[in-house]
Amino acid sequence: MQNKILVVEDDQRVSSIIKRGLEENGYEVQQAWNGLSGKEMLQNNLFDLAIVDIVMPEMNGLDLCAAIRKEKPNFPIIMLTALGTTDDKVEGFDAGADDYLVKPFDLRELLARIKVLLKRTRRPVEKEITKLEYADMHLDINRKTLFRSGKEITLTPKEFSLLMFMMKNPERVLSRKEISKKVWDMDFDTGTNFIDVYINYLRKKVDRDFEQKLLHTKPGMGFILKKDN
């Protein structure tokens, strides 16, 4: 059975190149030329993955991504855009994108990332724990809440996923590659320091106002959640 992919891209030349390349590799592809029509197609049809541009008429890719996430929390989305700075990527991930490719791109890399995301969605669902505790932090996975010393701390979706992964692996050094794989499901070098950016975001929220620091950097190795320096 063919996987069905929606390409939401207002540049018809780029969209046609993607469509042709994916179809040659066995995928069924449909196209939308703006964010609003892309949203309607996703609401009225079954797709396995969406490739979404950011700068589009009617509704931009970030708003479309956020809208998809509200209705389909686990639906795989690849953001495809000419905007490639760390801040751009962070904004895309915060909107709910699973992966991020910068134009111009190699079709082989796009195919590899599609394969990774589709494989992830086919994994059997494992029974997950619903609450995590470490030191004075209490994280509720179902309610998506975090408390430290009784104080509620608001996190973005990716900040929450990153902290959850670290709380599942306390007192163990986590490399950037492992974090990229487990939190973002990517085996690729994005060319930016977005993981360091998210660690810094977490530090400001989780550690800054507390005497005991829990998030630590191991130079040249990665990051670790532990109670001491």
Helix ranges (H only) for the chain are 12-24, 35-44, 61-71, 86-95, 107-121, 157-168, 176-183, 194-202
Determine the 3-state secondary structure of 223 from DSSP: strand
What pLDDT was estimated at residue 27?
94
Contact by Cβ (8 Å): 66, 96: yes
pLDDT digits 0-9 by tens, 50-85 = 999 988 888 888 899 888 888 888 899 998 877 766
pTM over 0.85? The answer is no
Q: Mean per-residue pLDDT for 123-131?
A: 61
Calculate the average pLDDT of the chain: 86
Q: What percent of the chain has pLDDT over 90?
A: 42
Asked if pLDDT for residue 177 goes beyond 90, the answer is: no
Query: Which of 46-60, 73-87, 151-165, 168-182 is predicted with the least confidence, judged by mean pLDDT?
Result: 73-87
The answer to whether 110 and 92 are in contact (CB under 8 A) is: no
Is 50 exceeded by the pLDDT of residue 124?
A: no
Structure tokens, 117: 């995301």
With contact defined as beta carbons under 8 Å apart, do 95 and 75 qualify? no
- pLDDT given at position 104: 82
Strand partners, 99: 78
> pLDDT tens-digit profile of 89-122?
677 777 778 888 888 888 999 999 999 888 876 6
